[in-house]
Structures are given as C-alpha cells and as structure tokens.
C-alpha cells in the first residue's frame, strides 16, 4: 500500500506516481469521451442497466425540458407514423431557466416488444449513431449550444402499433465536467396511423403556438365535441366540453414544463385529430 509510513513517503510516492498518472489520464479520457455521448444506452429504455445521464450530470441549477418533432416531406408535423414512410426527425433539449450553455441527448425508438425499429440516416451536425443491446441509438457527437439535433428516421415497413421514443437530455454549464449540470429522461409515444384509420376521421388539430408559457389556441370546427390534454406519460390533465366554433384559447400556465398531446373527440365519440405543444 502506498504511503504506509511517513519516513518512506517520498520513495513510495515515486513508486506509485506512474499509477496516479495513469488513473488521472483515464479519468480525463472518460470525461472527454462523454462529451461525445456515451457508447452505451442511457435513455432509460427497457433492458438498459438503469444508469442514465441523471447519474452523472448532477447538482446544476437547470431544469431540462424536451420536445420531439417528426415531420413529413412537406414540413408538416405529424403525430402518427405510416409504415415505410421517411420523416424528418428533430430532438430539442432546452432549459427552463435559460441559463444552460450546452446540451446533449440520446434517443432510441422501440416497438411494443422493446425491439429497435426503423432506420436512421442523414444525421445532422453534432449527431452520431451508437449500437448497444441490438439497437441503434442517436446521441450527440459534441455538445450543442442550440440544443437542436436532427436526423432522418424511416418508419418500419409494417404496422407495429405504438412506437416509443425513449429520450435522455443534458443541460450543461459548458465547462466540461458533469458536476454542475443537470439531466432528465422522458418518452414520446407515436401510434401507427394505419392502426386507427378505420376508427378515426383524421384531421390534424390546428394548435398555435406550439411552444408557449401560458396559452395555446385551438381551431374548433362544428364536428368537435371535446378536447383531451395528456402529459408525456399519458396522464389526462385537462378535459374540455361545450366548445365554441372558431378560435378557442386554453390556459396552460399552471401546467408543468414539458411536452403535451392534445386530442380532439368528435360528436360521434370518434377521435378527430391530435397535436402536440411544448410548455416551458
């Protein structure tokens, strides 16, 4: 054991010094490698070890919020997927306090049996793929000052029901160490349009703005009976009836920060459309 006796401290230090240098170098290497995203799944998806970004990025004064945008070739945001269809895919990581300087992420899409589904391509700036557990994750290749990460995702060739995107995000101070940062995880569930098309008159709801701190507006038509608002965990947080035709404002100032799904229900009891919005 090193430094057992004061009289031999110098000699023992000389003997242990190479090991100290190696230990410090290894620690620095690990820190730098994490700046490029970890090479194992840390998104809090089923089958992972249970270790997430929250285990290392701690004690920071930040409150992470997330949004996931999937859009078609015309740039229209969609809340359902069509088998075999290619979509523009965008992860947004932000900080409620607006103090974080850099951001990181990791995301993976799984079917209802927790298998990786779809395919990634056309990775954007500061985005890379990693392979773990038979899955392909997207993660950052370097911290981003915008918190916006882009790629293209192609849906599976057949209807697999609900697809869940497990997402982890980091809000950081930009100094390189994980202490002083903060992180969180969430998930977004995207159903197949073909699963519901027989039971659904699908007309996307017109909701604006899509990012807000206090209020959203929904365009109500004569066929809409009620509106349901769900949080990212699928919990119903608001239900609205007796809707007037036209522009209808909904107060969301008391909602917690995060992403929400708003679902329209027609007078015949059938779903009429959905939309997402982000509360900060």
The answer on pLDDT for 32 being more than 50 is no
pLDDT at 31: 41
Q: What is the pLDDT of residues 128-140, one digit of tens each?
A: 999 999 999 999 9
Percentage of residues of the chain with pLDDT beyond 90: 47
The rounded distance, in Å, linking the Cα atoms of 254 and 262 is 16
Q: What is the pLDDT of residues 225-243, one digit of tens each?
A: 889 898 776 678 899 988 8
pLDDT at 25: 41
The three-state secondary structure class of 6 is: helix
61 contacts 97 by C-beta, under 8 angstroms? yes
The answer on pLDDT for 268 being more than 80 is no
Lowest mean pLDDT among 52-56, 61-65, 108-112: 52-56
33 — phi, psi (to 5°)?
-65, -35
Domains of the chain: 53-192 (2.60.40.4060), 200-279 (2.60.40.1220)
Per-residue tokens: 231:
């949080």
pLDDT at 203: 56
pLDDT at 19: 45
Tell which wins on pLDDT, 262 or 201: 262
State the chain's mean pLDDT as an integer: 82
The rounded distance, in Å, linking the Cα atoms of 121 and 214 is 36
The rounded distance, in Å, linking the Cα atoms of 82 and 85 is 6
The rounded distance, in Å, linking the Cα atoms of 53 and 151 is 21
Tokens 């990634």 locate to 120
Mean pLDDT in residue range 157-176: 92
Tell which wins on pLDDT, 27 or 229: 229
The three-state secondary structure class of 44 is: coil
């Amino acid at each position: 054991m090193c430094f057992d006796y004061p009289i031999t401290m110098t000699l023992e230090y000389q003997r242990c010094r190479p090991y100290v240098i190696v230990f410090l170098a290894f620690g620095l290497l690990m820190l730098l490698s994490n700046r490029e995203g970890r090479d194992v799944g840390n998104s809090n998806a089923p089958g992972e070890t249970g270790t997430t970004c929250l285990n290392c990025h701690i004690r920071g004064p930040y409150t992470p919020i997330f949004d996931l945008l999937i859009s078609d070739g015309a740039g229209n945001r969609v809340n359902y997927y069509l088998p075999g269809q290619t979509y523009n895919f965008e992860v947004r990581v932000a900080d409620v306090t607006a103090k974080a300087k850099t951001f990181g992420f990791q995301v993976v899409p799984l079917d209802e049996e927790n298998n990786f589904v779809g395919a990634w391509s056309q990775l954007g700036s500061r985005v890379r793929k990693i392979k773990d557990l038979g899955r392909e994750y997207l993660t950052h290749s370097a911290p981003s000052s915008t918190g916006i990460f882009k790629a293209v995702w192609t849906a599976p060739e057949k209807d697999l029901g609900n697809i869940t995107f497990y997402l982890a995000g980091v809000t950081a101070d930009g100094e390189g160490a994980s202490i002083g940062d903060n992180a969180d995880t969430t998930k977004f569930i995207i159903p197949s349009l073909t699963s519901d098309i027989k039971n659904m008159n699908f007309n996307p709801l017109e909701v604006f703005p899509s990012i807000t701190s206090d209020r959203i507006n929904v365009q109500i038509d004569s066929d809409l009976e009620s509106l349901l608002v769900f949080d990212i965990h699928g919990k119903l947080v608001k239900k609205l009836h007796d809707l007037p035709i036209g522009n209808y404002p909904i107060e969301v100032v008391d909602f917690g920060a995060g992403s929400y799904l708003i679902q329209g229900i027609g007078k015949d009891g059938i779903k009429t459309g959905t939309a997402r919005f982000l509360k900060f």
